Every structure is written in C-alpha cells, then in structure tokens.
Structure 1
Amino acid sequence: MIGRLVRTDFKVGTRGYIYPIYLLIALAYGLVVMAFPEQYHPIIVPIFVLIEPGLVGFMFVGTGIFAEKKDGTIGALAVTPLEWRSYILAKTLLMVLVSLPAAALIMGIGTRSLNGLSYVLAGTFLVSIVYTLLGIAVSSKYHDLDDYFVPLLGVMVLSLLPFAHYHGYLTNEIWKVLYAVPSYPALYFFKAPFEEISMNTLMWSGFALIIWSGIAYHLARIRFYKYAVEGLR
C-alpha cells in the first residue's frame, strides 16, 4: 500500500514539476556553495543542506497537502478503506528519497568532493523524516500558503538559530535551550565532513533525531486526522 502511494505521489509530483523543482533548487544551492572560497564550506554547506531537506521539505509537503485538500484527495480518506497512516508514511518516505540525492548534489557540486558524504546522508535521512512529519502536522490545519506562511517562517527562524549558537554568536546560558531544536543534532552530521565530530556525539545526535521523529509522527498522526481527514477547524 505504501509503495503504491509513493509511486503515485511521485508521478503526480513529477508531472506538476514539484520534485524536479526541488532538485533544481538543490543544484542551485550547490552552485552557490561552489562560488564561495573553500574555507567557507564548513559554514555554508551545513546551512544549505539543512534548508533543502528540512525547511524546503517542510514547505513542499505543506503545499502538497493544500493542493490535495482542494482536489478532494484527502477528503476521500474519510470514506475509503485507504489507511490514512499509510498516507503520512508514504509522504515522509517520498520526501526522504528525494532529499538524499538533493543533499548529495549540494555536497558533491558545492565542494567538488564526496568525502564525508555518508555523514551528510545519515543526517539528511533523519532530519528529513522529522521536518516532513512536522510539516504534515502543522500544515494539516491550514488551507493555503498565506495561512501557512507565519508558522513556516517561525520554524525557519527557530531552526536556523542553532547555527548562530554553534558558532558562538548566542553565548548566554539561556540559549542552551536550542539543543532541543531538531536542527541542532542534525548540524553535527553536516559538520562532520569538515571538522572532527566524535562518534559519541553523532550517536547521541542520531538518537535525539529518532526521538524527534517519534514526537513528530505522533503530532502528524493526531493533527492530520483531526484537521485534514475529519475536516475539523
């Protein structure tokens, strides 16, 4: 069931140029990174890799849900034997499968090297799951991009703050709360190709993202059924 949903969604998204545009954005990010001197890659690459599978994925899954609300696809879940949890998992799996080549494009084209790509792909896999599920959870309540813009902007700003803390720009003790933001553990994976990150740190970062995946799935499951399937406001 999930496999069929993934294939169908991929065909629809490809015909609507959603996934080709997604990969073109990754290509553009890679070219931007390539324009920077090599010493800036440890800063620029992690930002773009997070933005692509995380924040862009968060936006794309939301706009996809809006479109499917309008054409009645999601409403049909309430009256058909299709398991709506399968819909959530299929959306997540598809975004992960698209995010991995996107991250590879940014890394490979931007740095002209694939050293450390395994760390980037591992972080991309986990962070894509988290942000896709959060995108489903948040967007389920809204009906168009105008309403979605404020929470989208809020998630984007909050997710980028860990970069400022990591590089020493937010030094007050209160900013340690940013360790709880899912982009922070992902940052260690994206930094690993450029600086030495201990395996212990990567292990705990992966564990944190797995916990976040469980939280995000729980939120997506509840809010998608309440607002999208049942149509409650």
Structure 2
Amino acid sequence: MMKNLLKTNLVIGVRSYVYPIYVLIGLAYGLMLMAFPEQYLPAMVPIFLLFEPGLVGFMFVGTEIFAEKKDGAIGALAVTPMDWKSYIIAKTLLLSVLSIIGAILIMAIGTRSLNGLPYVIIGVFLVSVVYTLLGIGISAKYHDLDDYFVPILAVMVVSLLPFAHYHGYLTHSVWKALYIVPSYPALYFFKAPFEEISRGTLALSGIALLLWSAIAYHLAKIRFYKYAVEGLR
C-alpha cells in the first residue's frame, strides 16, 4: 500500500509540475545566494534552508491537497478501504526527500561547499516533516490558495521570528517563548556548518523537532480525515 501511494503521489506531483518546481526553487535559492558576499552566508543560508523545506513545503502541500480535492482524487480514494495514515505519511516522505534535494542544491551552489551537510540534511528532513504535516492539517479545511493565504502568512511570520531572536534583535525575556517554534531548533542544524554548535544542543533540537512531528501528525490525521475525507464544514 505504501509503495503504491508513494508512486501515485510522485506521478501526480511530477505531472502537475509541483515537485519539479519544488526542486527548481532550491536551485533558484542557491543561485540567489551566490550574489551575497561570503561573510553574509552564515546569516542568509539558514533562512533559505528554512524557506525550502518549511515554508515552501507548507504552501505546496496545501496546493496539492486543493488540486486533489478539485479533481476528485480524494473523493475517489475515500470510497476505498485505504489507510489514510499511509496517505499522509507518503505525502510527507516525498516532500521531505525533495526538501533534502533542494537543501543540497542550496549548499552546493550557494556556498560552493558541502561542509556540515549531514547536519543540514537532518535538520531539513525533520523540519520538512513538521511543516508538511502542519500544512496537511491546516489546509485540509480550505478549498483554494486564497483562503489558505492568511495561514501561510501567519506561519511565515512566526517561523522567521526565531532568526531575529537568535541574532539578538529581540532581547526582551518574553521572546524566549520563540524557543517552542519549530524553526528555532531547526536553526541550530542550519547554523552548524558555519559555527560551533554543541552535540547536546543538536540532540535537544532533534528531540524538539521529533516532538513537533508527533504533534503535527496528530493534527494532520484528525483534521484531514474530518475536513478532506468526510467533507465536514
């Protein structure tokens, strides 16, 4: 079942140009980073790495679900004895793999180096899982990108705030609440190629993203079945 779902999602994603565009965005980000002087890369690369698997993935998975609703794919699958958990996992795995490809392009082209790539791959995979699952859970209630725009904007703003806090722009103690935002632990993985990050910090960051993955999966499972499968309003 999982193999067939992965194959089906891959074919649909390629035919609809969603997946090729996803990879091309990673290529474009890498080319954009080439325009920055080398001293700015430690600050800019992590932002682009978050945009690729996180914010772009959050938007694209919603677009996929809208398309599958409109062409009747979800409605057709709803009458089959399919395990919807497998559907959610298959879509999440595919987008996570594409995110890794995009991250490699960003590092290889944008920094002309693959130093610290294992840290980046781990961070990208985990944060992609979180944001893709959140995208599935949140977008399930909407029917087009216009309705989904406000959630996208809200997630984008909140997810970028940890960068400002990390670099010392948000100094009030109240901003420590940003540590719970999933982009914050991901930031440590994306910073690891450029500065010394302790293994303890990376381990805690990984645990935090795994916890977020569990929360996001639970949200996606409940909301997707409620709104996309059953069609409740």
Q: Same fold (TM over 0.5)?
A: yes
- What's 2:28 paired with? 28
Q: Which secondary structure state, in structure 1, belongs to the residue aligned with residue 73 of structure 2?
A: coil
The residue that corresponds to 2:103 in the other structure is 103
Whether contact under 8 Å (1:137, 1:224) holds in the other structure is yes
CA deviations over 1:163-213 (Å, ceiling 9, x no partner)? 000000000000000000000000000000000000000000000000000
The equivalent residue for 1:81 is 81
Query: Is 1:226 the counterpart of 2:230 in the alignment?
Result: no
Single out whichever of 3-12 and 128-137 deviates more from structure 2: 3-12
SS in structure 1 opposite 2:14? helix
Q: Deviations over 1:112-163 (max 9, x none)?
A: 0000011000000100000000000000000000000001100010000000
Q: How far apart are the structure 2 equivalents of 1:100 and 1:212?
A: 19
Cα RMSD of the aligned pairs, angstroms, is 0.7
Q: Return the offset for 1:8.
A: 1.3
- 1:37, distance to aligned residue in structure 2 (A): 0.7
Deviations 1:40-79, CA, capped at 9 Å, x for gaps: 0111100000000000000000000000011111122331
1:62 maps onto 2:41 in alignment: no
SS of the equivalent of 2:114 reads coil
1:50 pairs with 2:62: no
Matched residues, number? 233
Moved over 3 A (4+): none
For normalisation by structure 2, the TM-score amounts to: 0.99
CA contact (8 A) 1:119 1:192 kept: yes
Which blocks of at least 5 consecutive residues in structure 2 are unaligned? Answer: none
The normalised TM-score by structure 1 is 0.99
Quote the residue 1:183 is aligned against. 183
Q: Find the aligned partners of 1:162 and 1:141 in 2 and give their Cα distance.
A: 28
* Bigger shift: residues 138-147 or 81-90: 81-90
The one-letter code of the counterpart of 1:196 is E
- 1:126 match: 126
Partner of 2:82, secondary structure, is: coil
Partner amino acid, structure 2, of 1:209: L
Residue in 2 that maps onto 1:215: 215
